[in-house]
Structures are given as C-alpha cells and as structure tokens.
Chains A and B, each alone.
Chain A
Amino acid sequence: MSDGNQGGKLKVVGQRPIRPDGVDKVTGRAQFGADFHLPGMLAGRIKRSPHAHARIVKIDASAAASLPGVKAIVTSVDFDRGASGEVEAGEGHTAIREVAENCLASGKVLYVGHAVAAVAATHPEIAAEAIDLIEVTYEALPHVIDVEEAMAPGAPLLHADLFTKGVNPKPDKPSNIALKSVMGRGDVPGAFKSADVIVEGRYTTAAVHQGYIEPHACVASWGADGQSTVWCSSQGQFLVRALVAKILGMPLSDLKVIPAEIGGGFGGKTTVYLEPVALALSRKCGRPVKLVMSREEVFLASGPTSGSVMDVKIAATKDGKITGAEMMLAYQAGAFPGSPVHLGCMTAFACYDVENLALVGYDVVSNRPKVAAYRAPGAPMAAFAVESAIDELARKLGMDPIDLRLKNAVRDGAKTVYGATVKSAAFVETLEMVKASAHYKTPLAKGQARGVAAGFWFNIGGESSAAVHVDEDGGVTVVSSNPDIGGSRASMAMMAAETLGLPIERVRCIIGDTASIGYSGSTGGSRVTFATGMAVVQAAEKVVADLKRRAAETWGCDLAMVEWADGVAKCADPSKDAKPLSMKAIASRSAKTGGPIAAEVSINAQGAAAGYGVHLCDLEIDPETGRSTVIRYTAAQDVGRAIHPAYVEGQLQGGAAQGIGWALNEEYVYGKSGQLENASFLDYRMPVASDLPMIDTILVEARPNPRHPYGAKGVGEVPIVPPLAAVANAVSHIVGERMTSLPLSPAKVLAAMAKR
C-alpha cells in the first residue's frame, strides 16, 4: 500500500472535478427521503405529547380507528418490549430500549413533542384527523429544563432507575446526573499555587439544532414474506437497519434499508425517529407507509446538541506558558442519558501541551428532546470556554493570541490528557500560516475587532466496505457503503481513479443498500474519506493485481514483468513482443481471462489522524441595535491531504457558518410550562447567506496522514469547533468585557454595552 506521502505524483487526488451529485441537487432531480412513493402507499402521522413531563394513564384510539380511511394505529406496545442491548450511534453507544422509548413513549412522556402514537391512513388529512381523535390521558408531573436545576437536590427526576455512573461507591438514590466523567493528570493545585497569572470564568452555551434542510422522512414496506424494506435519508443505512430490526424484534436479514439522498445530517441523522414507527404501521396494515416530519416536529422531537455550563480556570507563567487548568463541564443530555460531555472533557485542552489538568464532566438528563450528535460532538462548547479563557489570558499578559497559542501548542510526541500521543499534527503549522495570512496582517477599521480561536477533533476510522467493478468498456463503478453527505462519492471515485490510473470521468460511485455491500459504520466522525476511502483503495489495488495477472497470462510473461501505469498494462520483458493492454482491452475480454473483474474489501480502519483548526473572525457591532456583523472570516485547518480541495473548503465554510450561528443567534427558548417557543426557522435564527461574508479558507497540507494511502485526515468536524470562541472573542473586545454566555444575541450585547 502507498504511504500517504506521494503528493508530487498524484494526478487525480488534489484536483477539483465537477461534483457528481451537483446537477441533480440543483435541478431538484435528486431523490431525498420524502420524494419516494410506492403504489398503495399510506400517509402516516405522529401523535405527540403536549406535556414536558407526564405519566401516560391511558391511550384510547377507538375513535381514530373507526375513522374511514384509517388503516393502522400503533403505540409503544407494537414494539418489541424486550428489546435490549446497545448500538453504536453518533455520540457513542445507545441503548436500544431508550431509542425505542424515544420513538414511542410507554410509561411516561419526557418532553413536549415526545411521540406517543402513530396513524397510517389513505390521505394525510385523514391521518391528521385521526391523530386528533386519539385520546391520551396524562398525569402531569413536575418538569425541569435547565441543566443546573436538573442537577440540584430535589429536582424532578426523569428516571427512577437512573443512578449516577462513574461515582464510587455507587449512589443509593436516583439522580438526573447520568454520568460523572473525571480525567486529569499532574499536580493541579501546585500549578495554581505557583502561577504568575490565573484566569477563570463561567461559560454557558444554549442547546442548538443541527439545522439540516431536509426533515426526517422515510417510507417503510412490510413484505408479505417477512422481507421488509425501508427507504430513508440517514447517515448510515446499516445503523438504521440495526435499530429498526431490534426495536421490532426481527432478524437483520429480513430488513433491507435503501439510503436516499440526504439533505444534511451533521450528526443528527445517526439515530432513528420515524423508521421503526413506519415499519410497525406497515406491519399492521400490509401497505407501505410514509412518515415525514414537519419542521416543527424536527425542532420538537429530533436531537439538538447539548446546552452547557462550564467553569474553567487556567494557570500560567508570566511569559505565557500554561502550567495547569481545571474545568467543570455540565452538558444537557435531553430526556435520556448520552450527552457528549466525555468528548468535551477529552477535547477541551487537546490543542495544548498542559502538564497539570483536572476535568470533570456531568451528563445530565432534563425534559428536553434527547440530544443527538452534532459535528464534533461536545467539542465546540468546551472550546468556547477554553479558547475564551486563553484569549483572556493573552489580554492579561499583553501577548499576541497566536503567539500565546504557539507557545503552548501540541507537537508530535506530546501526551494528550485522554491517553493518545500526538502524531502527524500540523497545529503549529496551521497557527503559523494564519499568523502569516493577509487577513491577520490587515489592520482593523475603527469599531471593529478580531477574534482568534483554535479547535481539535480526533477523527476516527472503523468498519467500512467498498467494491470496485470494472465495466466491459473499461469504465469503473465504485460501490460505497456510506451515504454521501459531504462529497464522498467524488472522493471515493477520485481515490479509485488515482489507484487505477484512470481519468476521473471513467469512474462513478454509487451508495449501496444494506443488501448489496458489506457492513459499514455510519457517515460521521469524519471517518468516511479515511476509512471507506482506504477500503476503496484496497479494492482498487486488488483490481489492479487482477488486471496485471490477466495481462501476464495474455502475453505469456512473468507476472513480475507487468507494470501498471495510467490505466495501461505494459510488459517490461524485452523478449516479448507485447503491445500495451488498456483497461478497456482487458475488460472487454474478461470472460476469456477468468470472468468479471471486481473486488470488494471490508476493513476495520485504524490510524485516523487528528485535525486542528484555527479561525479568525473580524466583526463589528451596531451600537444602536447590538447586532453583530461578521465582516471577514478565515478558517484554516490541518487537513492532511485534501482529496478534493473544493469539497474540503466547503466543509470548512459550512462548519464556520454553523458555528457563527451557534455563537450569535441560535438557541432553544423554553416557556415556563416546558414548551419550546421557537420551533420554526422564523424564530430559530440560523445564519443565511446574506448574513455572512465569503469565508476564506487555508488548507494546511504540511502533515499528510501516513496511515492513509493518500494522506487524508477527516475534515468535517474540526471547523465547527473554533467559531464559537472566535466570534465571542471579537465581540468581547468591542464590548469591553468578556462575553461568556451564548448566543450573543443583539439584546444581550446591547445590555453588556449599556453597562460600559
């Protein structure tokens, strides 16, 4: 296998071919989850809780069942009540029982919008009418929304069987704190005792939604022979299969999941909400059922990411060396355990070489929708606190914020607090390139300020499968096992083309369903270009080996004398009068040389390399309204090697835009009764194109990943980590005080400015 350090020899990798999915998406021809139709298909609707916390006393669906056109009604009793075990989803292992409970509540509802029943009918209007006819009797219970209130003694308890894990001895009373996560090293009290400078602060972030444009949608069809099919948009068809099959108590082999085009996921589509419900409905009535969430349902019932409360304290010498830090992180998990607080702890100081560290994280349930993964789960909040504190430290020391970060930056060989050794890191190079950039050297105008912040993400590998099929005319089809969210069809095709020596135009990539390609983990964690890409390259290498064997047999020469370059086999044996054989020539005669030419590879990829980002944000504030306007923004990132640079730049720009929204506007607003009060894009304010300047990017390719054949590192998670602090640091400089609570809404900024 190649070693990832062959940049000068590459012909396809590193180029910018036209994106293969572009035309379909901009012309509306792409088939998303909601676009699929089957003959006889029914329309489904979900009945949702109006209470933040209540016991379900009774569900009476008799009136709904008698409505003409209603074909099926399901509640939680239609799920496999004994479903147990766990499945690896976006934020880690997820208990099947809790996923099922989130899809259809049984004993209690735990948030406004929690699903309690579903209907399938011949028309959407009939389904909607039937939903209104289902009578649910509730016994309302006290609720808790805020994370600190949920942690307080005497808070309403969501789960009587939830005891805090990670505490020794095991508690004898239930709690809303699902997990206490502790990590650290060194002598933290000693570091603070000998410090020249200490900065500390409390930082908070609001729950924010992933904000994908396409709502959750699926079609499910229960086959008369027990073979069932689900069509849906998700970040992993195999994950959907596993969750749906286990919730409904069926063998995996009886369910095929066909991935639709996906209109954004960002981690939020690494679980299921509708799919088991739709299939349960279909099982009851024998007809296909479609379920599509409205935008309001997306906000009410699909995962946002955690809001958080964090205390951070940093000790440093007067020349800027950070000698110690301590941090408390409390993350909202929503209605069921599983916030990414442990990832917040692991990433908080991952950019810096700090000898003495103490971190404690709390995973806290409250009466909100269960959180789901969101790009770099857990890291942006932690980075907001740490990067704000480091900015504060730079101000206190009178140091350039990039110089301060350079002084403390991790370099290869440094030990992270979570146990890994830093390898192939280009954080220092990324900081240096930002410092040398035209943006950083450009003076600010009056009334403007600049924020700097850094971010880290591990990136992961894992199980992936890919197949490479050579067509009879010498073209190639790559079958990927991962839904294409960020351009993986292009990158998979490019890596195959590079390995095979073909022009990119001769290679196409499709996404296989669960029955047509080997298992793969989900599209998430910035793993696909690395792990599935590795499987593609290995499959392509197998194909090349097969092509060479066929050429050798055709020429009657030793296999060792066959060279493969630029899609052509050449014989290096001077004794043979052998004309070069192209891919097309060999493929067209494949029947005579052993049959079809194809290879499939399944691997468990290890060796993913971490990524680092540094962002610059120039900003100004309207003193009349408090509205912040980003006027210039640069995102720089250690990307290993960019397979398709335009897609990588798009990842950086998208992550920055989402992070800017998180910093300035986005939040879940709750009323006193636990109602979400802004469940629409009108009231939940995400940035739109006219809100932002063109986001400049700097791709740092100083350290290709030696464990990937073309040097790729994951790139999709890192860019959402720095923006929260980059924006907040700029706002803080203008306001004249440290802004510690996101979002930095105009009202909040105006109030802070009024105090000065």
Chain B
Amino acid sequence: MARLTTISGRVGDFTGGLTHFDVEARSVRALVRELEQRFPGLGEFVEEQMAIAIDGEIFQDALTAEFGADSEIVLIPRISGG
C-alpha cells in the first residue's frame, strides 16, 4: 500500500493528529474518496485546499494522476504566489 504523510497541521484536525498512514488508493481521485470515507471532510479538504507530492513531484488539482503501491504520498498546503 502507498504510504501517506502529511506536513499540514490542518489535516490533523480531521485525522485526530494522525500524520502517517497507508492508503489503498492508486490515483488522486481514489485517494480523495478514501480519505473522505476514513476521515469525513478530509477528502473534500484535500481536493479543494491541498497539493499532493507523489514520489516527490507536486501535483495540484490533478485528480487523474496515478501512483503505485510503493509510492510516497505527501499532503502539503497548496502553493500559490505573488
């Protein structure tokens, strides 16, 4: 299973402070669904307000992006700019 990590304290508001856990999903769309099921509200929060680093590459608004069973998934705050 892919390993999910978060560096965002706001994700902890949904997970009860859990920052590392395994996920069954193999795409961002499936990940969002899985997170929503396990931690109600988190899937929507991730979809709307987070970026996702998949094996080190940052994706924003990329529901179709896929990843492998050994992938490292990191939830990070969305990156914007001036």
Contact = CB atoms under 8 A, between A and B. Distances in A.
Contacts of B76: 346, 418-420
Contacts of A717: 81-82
Nearest to B82: A267
A607 B61 contact: no
Contact of B79 (A421, A423, A460, A604): A460
A181 B82 contact: no
Contacts of A460: 60, 79-81
A166 B62 contact: no
Candidate in B17, B62, B76, B79 with the most chain A CB atoms within 10 angstroms: B79
Nearest to A91: B80
Nearest to B61: A604
Contact of A166 (B9, B55, B72): B9
Contact of B58 (A88, A92, A375, A458): A458
Contact of A270 (B62, B79, B82): B82
How many chain B residues sit at the interface, stated as a range, is 20 to 34
A179 B9 contact: yes
Contacts of A266: 82
Contact of A457 (B48, B56, B77, B81): B81
Nearest to B15: A168
Interface string A159-176: 000000111101000000
B59 interface: yes
B49 interface: yes
B82 A463 contact: no
Given A90-B80, A90-B82, A423-B57, A180 B48 contact: no
B7 interface: yes
B81 A527 contact: yes
A93 interface: yes
Interface string A500-526: 000000000000000000000000111
Contacts of A86: 48-49
A683 to B, nearest CB: 24
A548 B81 CA distance: 40
A276 interface: no
Contacts of B65: 606
A524 B57 contact: no
A373 interface: yes
Nearest to B5: A419
A543 B67 CA distance: 34
Interface in B10-69: 10, 12-13, 16-17, 48-49, 53, 55-62, 65
Contacts of B77: 92, 181, 342-343, 346
A182 B55 CA distance: 21
Contacts of A267: 81-82
Contacts of A463: 61
A458 B59 CA distance: 12
A113 interface: no
A299 interface: no
Given A524-B81, A604-B62, A419 B13 contact: no
A630 to B, nearest CB: 23
A580 interface: no
A86 B44 CA distance: 13
Interface string A204-235: 00000010000000000000000000000000
Nearest to A460: B79
Contacts of A567: none
B12 A375 contact: no
A325 B67 CA distance: 32
Contact of B74 (A91, A93, A419): A419
B78 A88 contact: yes
Contacts of A69: none
Given A168-B13, A182-B9, A420 B57 contact: yes
A243 interface: no
A269 to B, nearest CB: 10
A170 B9 CA distance: 12
B15 to A, nearest CB: 9
Nearest to A463: B61
A462 interface: yes
Contacts of A606: 57-60, 62, 65
A421 B49 contact: no
Nearest to B53: A419
A374 interface: yes
A461 interface: yes
Nearest to A610: B58
A602 to B, nearest CB: 13
Nearest to B16: A168
Contacts of B58: 419-420, 458, 606, 608
A561 interface: no
A245 B80 CA distance: 22
Contacts of A524: 80-82
Candidate in B65, B72, B82 with the most chain A CB atoms within 10 angstroms: B82
A377 B80 contact: yes
A23 B16 CA distance: 59
A373 B81 contact: yes
A55 interface: no
A439 interface: no
Interface in A385-422: 415, 417-421
A525 B81 CA distance: 4
A628 B61 CA distance: 46
Contact of A420 (B9, B16, B56): B56
A744 interface: no
B41 to A, nearest CB: 13
Given A346-B76, A420-B57, A421-B57, A181 B8 contact: yes
A377 B9 contact: no
A420 B61 contact: no
A90 B81 contact: yes
B71 to A, nearest CB: 12
Interface of A: 86, 88-93, 165-168, 170, 179-183, 210, 265-268, 270, 342-343, 346, 373-377, 415, 417-421, 423, 457-463, 524-527, 604, 606-608, 714, 716-717
Interface of B: 5, 7-10, 12-13, 16-17, 48-49, 53, 55-62, 65, 72, 74-82
Given A182-B9, A458-B79, 20 more contacts: A92-B49, A93-B49, A93-B78, A167-B9, A179-B10, A181-B8, A181-B10, A265-B82, A266-B82, A342-B8, A342-B77, A343-B80, A346-B76, A373-B81, A376-B81, A418-B7, A419-B53, A420-B76, A460-B60, A462-B60
9 contacts: A86-B49, A90-B82, A91-B80, A168-B17, A268-B82, A419-B53, A419-B56, A423-B57, A460-B81
| A-B pairs, 7 with minimum CB distance | A267-B82, A525-B81, A421-B56, A166-B9, A419-B74, A419-B53, A373-B82
